[in-house]
Homo-oligomer: A and B are copies of this chain.
């Protein structure tokens, strides 16, 4: 069965998944850089940007597995871009340039209508206005038997979690303190009964925690 999964989503020790004040110059908020240091150091991530070298251990295996078997991605509007409200025009096509690293359909949750954007390399952004269940149904249909990944951010993952729709949740605990920002786990009471840890490993940089839906 295709699964809905979250993969490689980073949390600080104090529970933040992004810093405050997201903007064009701070896509993941101010001061949140250390959260993703583990990922930027991997061979897989560096290769995406044409760079040699990089970590080839646990973290790299996680980074490489992130795309494996995924046929569609769902993300929140704030992960797609820093602007809020109605789309002023069609100039913004995401943070990732003309050849985004998805290579499959991406469903962006938004309240504001916009036509799909097809970019190079197989990535098409679709804008979904009728809720998370609709986005999920469209994503599973587009994934054609493969898994669907929730890219983020925290609010989007939280909505799917509290709706009981997430099958696998892989979190990366970065041993840093951010002090403020956006939490993944806030008002998620009830979620605790649905998941259990199936794997816990550390690299030199971070702890990886794989949660799966608890078996009945």
Contacts and interface: CB of A to CB of B under 8 A. Distances in A.
Interface in A48-88: none
A192 B193 CA distance: 31
How would you classify the secondary structure of chain A's contact residues: helix, strand, loop or mixed? loop
A166 B205 CA distance: 23
Interface string A172-193: 0101111110011100111111
A200 interface: yes
A11 B209 CA distance: 14
Given A13-B185, A207-B202, A175 B191 contact: no
Nearest to A210: B175
A171 interface: yes
Contacts of A171: 13
Given A200-B202, A201-B202, A202-B202, A209 B177 contact: no
A206 B202 contact: no
A211 interface: yes
20 contacts: A13-B185, A14-B15, A14-B184, A14-B192, A15-B185, A173-B207, A173-B209, A175-B197, A175-B211, A176-B192, A177-B192, A179-B188, A179-B190, A179-B191, A179-B192, A180-B189, A200-B204, A200-B207, A202-B207, A207-B209
